[in-house]
Chain A
Amino acid sequence: MTPDVFSFRLYIAGDAPNSLQAIANLAQLCETHLPDRHEIEIVDVLLDPKRALEESIFMTPTLVTDSPYPGHRIVGTLSHTEPILQILGLGAAQRRTFAGLKERDSAPQLRRPC
């Protein structure tokens, strides 16, 4: 169900603090949740502004997901990992479902009518 490789493009603006932070945060996220299953391309809009224009990247830093769920954009330093993980299908809800599948018997107690 989960793809083999997650590929990302991160648009940054030179060595602006928030850009550096985003790079660090993305690296951290990939290491934690997608070890050895990620590809990251970093585009510096100051060096390649045409590309930013073509992609309509107006805010930096912006993370664009290429696969497996292409077209998602996440703006910011990526300091909140939860929304990113949700987009990638790795959110808390999904993780809990996985857990639920394994221990189905004990989980759904809340649903029982009184």
Chain B
Amino acid sequence: MLKTTKAPTGIAGLDEITGGGLPRGRTTLLAGGSGSGKTILALQFLVNGAQQQGEPGIFVAFEETPARIVDNASTFGWKLDELQQQGQLYFMDAQPAPDLVQSGTFDLSGMLAALGAKAEELGAKRIVFDALDIVLALLSDPAAQRREIYRLHGWLLAHEMTGIVTLKAASDHGAIGQPFGFVQFMVDCAVILNHTLVLGVSQRNLRVQKYRGSSFDENESPFLIGRGGFEVAVSRTLGRGQAEVTNERVSSGVDRLDTMLGGGYYRDASVLITGFPGTAKTTLSGAFAEAACARGERTMFVSFDSDSNEVIRNLGSVGIQLDRFVENGTLHMISARTITGSAETYLVRIKTLAKEHRARCVVVDPVSTLSKTGNELTAHSVAERLIDWSKAEGITLVCTSLLDEMSSQSEAGSPLQISTLADTWIHLNYLVQAGERNRGMSIIKSRGTAHSNQVRELILSDTGITVTDAYTAGGEVLMGTMRWEKESAERHAAEVAAVTARLQNVKLEAEQAELEARIKALEVELAAKVTEKAVLARSAEVHDLEVSLGRDRMRELRGSDVTPEPAGVTR
């Protein structure tokens, strides 16, 4: 038996869930309630098949006129008219006439024969039967309905066409009520669409119910009908889509912070900045955006809190000038405050906009907005996927997240629990001391980076952001005025000490000089004494000589015959 090959739907997400697309040459059931997006998904399957795979397709419309379908789908930019002219797409209007007269039983052979001829003419590979239930309802009994379904199935197999049959589901859970329940058993693949409200927020989900001969992602995946049609959000499955890892660093926009992080954020990192309101989260992310733009990288700044112009003005007050980058088109500011919808909507909008802008750096401020408006259940996975997506695209993502419990000083994590997923987590908090509230910044984690463990003080001024060492004294971290006081006291003490030392030095030098002078004087005196002593000795000798000479002279004069005694003894 042939291995099941797959016909890619070209819908990002759906192809991943099904592991490559719908079963080629087989029938896929697409069931869902009203307004669940069956027709759009089916039509997109044909459009993508024609445009991307070169597989012409036929759309059999039982419920709406082709003109209306084309009209409705015109907003997606699918160029349906062009495709029809090129013979890549054919719409068959198979609506039963409202005044159709029925007399006895009938079957769909006529339609299939006609379709067969058309398919051969176009070389069609894909076919959609939209709202088959309409025509099935005309059939008198369940047996006849079943027979026609099997006829259709057999025809698809015989023509080796990949088919989608859409049916209305009675409930939102995709259960197809009788009499069409057996369709689910007949087809090779079944996809269920539903549309529910979670706490008043619309949530669309897609689920592959069965897929013969293939593994698939069995969970419900949220989807969205966006500007380009269908978009399915998938959580990345294991062992797939590993993005390339890089060692490149990008600046955080604050010099000292770069140093603290060992050079900056990683290029493909997702950075989480948490903190209470007013701890300069936006400012820090703004600094990153400015640095990215200054490097010439296309950047997108999504603000959920304030209007774009407000953000620019506010950041301008701390020396972060973003307006010039907005003007030259490097920076795309998005104010998402007005968008309401599910977390999914946000994610898909962000992805689409980033794609359009070809952004390399994305700032989401704050990402905790995703958990608002009844989205707690899905927001976590959305935040996860936001990170996964940015990694896959090699985008540097900076998210801020509000910690909503003012009382808690703990750093237990952001409401979305993405702190475990983020590569770098910077926490900002207030330190209240001596009547002051100062901003402290610490790096809680930074994967793959040697980073400083010290709490620093974040100082905002009109020239920009500076990070200073906090003053640690007696196990306490001092910030703001207390740090300044401590520092100034220290400076003062140091000066006093320096002066004292200089004084001491001078004094010692004086003493030394004095001692040296005294040594000199004594030396002189010593020399004098030595000389005196020598003179004295000399004079004694002379005297002795004189005496001895005198005695000899006297003896000569006296004419004595006595031998003269030694001179020394005489004296």
Contacts and interface: CB of A to CB of B under 8 A. Distances in A.
A75 B114 contact: no
B106 interface: yes
Nearest to A84: B103
A77 B93 contact: no
B436 to A, nearest CB: 81
A89 interface: no
B116 interface: yes
Interface in B64-114: 92-94, 96-97, 100-111, 113-114
Interface stretch (A33-41, A58-66, A93-101): A58-66
A30 interface: no
B161 to A, nearest CB: 15
Contact of B101 (A22, A49, A57, A75): A75
- Helix, strand, loop or mixed for chain A's interface? mixed
Contact of A84 (B96, B101, B135): B101
Contacts of B492: none
Interface residues of A, number: 35
B110 A11 contact: yes
A58 B108 contact: yes
Interface string B346-373: 0000000000000000000000000000
B448 to A, nearest CB: 64
Interface in A73-94: 73-81, 83-84, 87
A76 B102 contact: yes
Given A13-B109, A59-B108, A52 B114 contact: yes
A20 interface: no
Contacts of A7: none
Among A14, A52, A87, max chain B CB count under 10 A is at A52
A45 B103 CA distance: 19
A49 B113 contact: yes
B117 interface: yes
Given A49-B116, A53-B114, A57-B114, A76 B106 contact: yes
- Helix, strand, loop or mixed for chain B's interface? mixed
A74 B101 contact: yes
B110 A62 contact: yes
Contacts of B102: 74-76, 83
A60 B106 contact: yes
A84 B97 CA distance: 16
B118 interface: yes
Given A49-B116, A50-B117, A53-B118, A25 B110 contact: no
A107 interface: no
Nearest to B140: A76
B570 to A, nearest CB: 172
Contacts of A58: 94, 96, 108, 110-111, 114, 135
A11 B110 CA distance: 8
B135 to A, nearest CB: 8
A18 B106 CA distance: 7
A45 B101 contact: no
B262 to A, nearest CB: 70
B103 A77 contact: yes
Interface string B113-127: 110111000000000
A9 interface: no
Contacts of B94: 56, 58
Given A46-B113, A62-B106, A73 B101 contact: yes
A9 to B, nearest CB: 12
A52 B115 CA distance: 9
Nearest to B109: A13
Contacts of B113: 13, 45-46, 49, 52, 60
Given A49-B116, A49-B117, A59 B111 contact: yes
B103 A78 contact: yes
B107 A60 contact: yes
Given A45-B113, A76-B102, A56 B93 contact: yes
Given A53-B114, A57-B114, A78 B101 contact: no
B106 A61 contact: yes
Given A58-B111, A59-B111, A75 B117 contact: no
B104 A16 contact: no
Given A16-B109, A59-B135, A62-B110, 18 more contacts: A14-B109, A18-B106, A45-B113, A49-B113, A49-B114, A49-B116, A53-B92, A53-B118, A56-B93, A57-B114, A58-B114, A59-B108, A59-B110, A60-B106, A73-B100, A76-B102, A76-B106, A81-B103
Interface of B: 92-94, 96-97, 100-111, 113-114, 116-118, 135, 138
6 interchain residue pairs of minimum CB distance: A77-B104, A13-B109, A49-B117, A76-B104, A58-B111, A79-B104
29 contacts: A13-B109, A13-B110, A16-B107, A18-B106, A21-B104, A22-B104, A46-B113, A49-B117, A50-B114, A52-B113, A52-B114, A53-B92, A56-B94, A57-B110, A58-B114, A59-B106, A59-B138, A60-B106, A60-B108, A73-B97, A73-B101, A74-B102, A75-B100, A75-B101, A77-B103, A77-B104, A79-B103, A81-B103, A87-B101
